[in-house]
Amino acid sequence: AQSVAQPEDQVNVAEGNPLTVKCTYSVSGNPYLFWYVQYPNRGLQFLLKYITGDNLVKGSYGFEAEFNKSQTSFHLKKPSALVSDSALYFCAVRDRGGASSNTGKLIFGQGTTLQVKP
């Protein structure tokens, strides 16, 4: 079974400093990984995804993520954090069950709250 884990419930960063939100994965076959962000009282917004190719994936709002196959990680990064980046971040992988049981649902990590202080 595939899964993703986010080891930190909360990450605190000062504005202007680099930020990292961690994600590790366990999947069979090639991993296809996603990051979503949820701002307070809002829906989930797609940030970026890793399919194949370059291990550094660039996404929306200046975010990027680094895929590391040997460490089975897909950490989200940003060189300079903004207060407006404060939100809940989810790492996810799509279900790849058997042909008769594949819902295509997203399997989410538990989420990491990012707090960026001025």
Partner 1 sequence: NAGVTQTPKFRVLKTGQSMTLLCAQDMNHEYMYWYRQDPGMGLRLIHYSVGEGTTAKGEVPDGYNVSRLKKQNFLLGLESAAPSQTSVYFCASSFSRGIQETQYFGPGTRLLVL
Q: C-beta of 111: minimal distance to partner 1 in Å?
A: 7
Nearer to partner 1, 75 or 109 (CB): 109
Nearer to partner 1, 82 or 108 (CB): 108
Binding site for partner 1 (CB under 8 A): 32, 34, 36, 42-46, 49, 51, 90, 93-96, 102-106, 108-111
Q: C-beta of 15: minimal distance to partner 1 in Å?
A: 27
| CA dihedral over 18, 56, 8, 89, signed as positive or negative | positive
Q: What whole-number distance in Å separates Cα of residue 78 and Cα of residue 92?
A: 18
Nearer to partner 1, 46 or 80 (CB): 46
Eight-class DSSP state of 70? T
Q: Torsion over CA of 81, 68, 50 and 30, rounded to 10 degrees?
A: -160
